[in-house]
């Protein structure tokens, strides 16, 4: 087990070496762009898998997996945006120059980043609704009613045959 002094020393070493490096290479911005591109690609893949545009038939497990990936990517983007907004809010409270303009840029980026996720959510809700509607359409009801009538006739015929064999 690691005691608390070793843990705090390890955290200090990591934060003292990682944070400056991350700032130097612009890791936050690159991560945001990578997450946005990944969310876009994942949204397209989910749409393709959901609608059956792919050559193979849509597999529910694959669609569920892609929806989970979409959720994780959207939550990650949301966390990055929230982190950035908190930093901007702190800078604004401190009276930093340009924080208002920066806040507007972040707000616009947030709107642009969240819009595809909202669109994907709306389309998935519509497709889900259409899928459920097709399950309970009049044609399906007619087919199920007809198969029920055939099954009942089959059971009645076999019941009559078995009674005749017994007597």
> For residue range 135-159, what is the model confidence (pLDDT) as tens digits?
677 777 888 889 999 999 999 998 9
Q: What is the pTM of this model?
A: 0.49
Nearest residue to 102 (alpha-carbon basis) of 91, 111, 93 = 91
Please report whether residue 112 resides in a domain: yes
Domains identified in the chain, total number: 2
Domain extent for 148: 137-167
What gap in Å lies between CA 78 and CA 86, rounded to an integer? 12
Please report whether residue 4 resides in a domain: no
Please report whether residue 11 resides in a domain: no
Q: How many CA atoms lie within 13 A of 38 on its CB side?
A: 17
**Residue 10: per-residue pLDDT:** 66
Does one domain contain both 35 and 61? yes
**Residue 140: per-residue pLDDT:** 75
The whole-chain average pLDDT of the chain stands at 80
Does one domain contain both 44 and 115? yes
The mean pLDDT value for 18-43 works out to 81
Q: Which of the two residues, 34 and 27, has the higher pLDDT score?
A: 34
Does one domain contain both 75 and 99? yes
pLDDT band at 46; cut points 50, 70, 90: confident
**Residue 135: C-alpha distances to residues 47, 117, 125, 153 (Å):** 20, 27, 15, 25
Does one domain contain both 47 and 81? yes
Tell me which of 12-16, 28-32, 37-41 is least confident.
12-16
Here the tokens at position 162 are 């078995």
Is the model's pLDDT at 163 over the cut of 80? yes
User: Which residue shows structure tokens 């979409």?
Assistant: 70
For residue range 59-100, list pLDDT tens digits in order.
Answer: 778 888 888 998 899 888 888 888 877 887 787 777 666 767
Here the tokens at position 81 are 């945006």
Q: Which residues contact 67 (CB under 8 A, 6 or more apart)?
A: 46, 124
DSSP characters over 99-126: HHHHHHHHHHHHHHHHHHHHHHHHHHHH
Does one domain contain both 120 and 166? no
Do 74 and 35 form a contact (C-beta atoms < 8 A)? no
Q: In 10 A of CB 91, how many CB atoms? A: 15
pLDDT band at 43; cut points 50, 70, 90: confident
The mean pLDDT value for 93-113 works out to 76
């Amino acid at each position: 087990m690691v005691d608390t002094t070793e843990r705090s020393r390890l955290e200090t070493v990591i934060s003292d070496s990682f944070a400056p490096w991350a700032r130097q290479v612009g890791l936050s911005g690159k991560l945001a762009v990578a997450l946005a591109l990944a969310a876009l690609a994942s949204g397209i893949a989910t749409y393709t898998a959901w609608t059956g545009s792919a050559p193979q038939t849509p597999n529910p497990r694959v669609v569920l997996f892609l929806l989970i990936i979409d959720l994780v990517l959207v939550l990650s983007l949301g966390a990055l945006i929230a982190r950035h907004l908190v930093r901007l809010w702190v800078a604004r409270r401190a009276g930093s120059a340009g924080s208002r303009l920066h806040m507007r840029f972040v707000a616009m980026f947030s709107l642009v980043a969240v819009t595809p996720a909202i669109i994907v959510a709306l389309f998935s809700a519509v497709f889900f609704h259409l899928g459920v509607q097709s399950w309970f359409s009049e044609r399906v009801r007619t087919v199920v009613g007809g198969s029920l009538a055939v099954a009942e006739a089959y059971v009645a015929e076999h019941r009559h045959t078995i009674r005749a064999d017994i007597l």
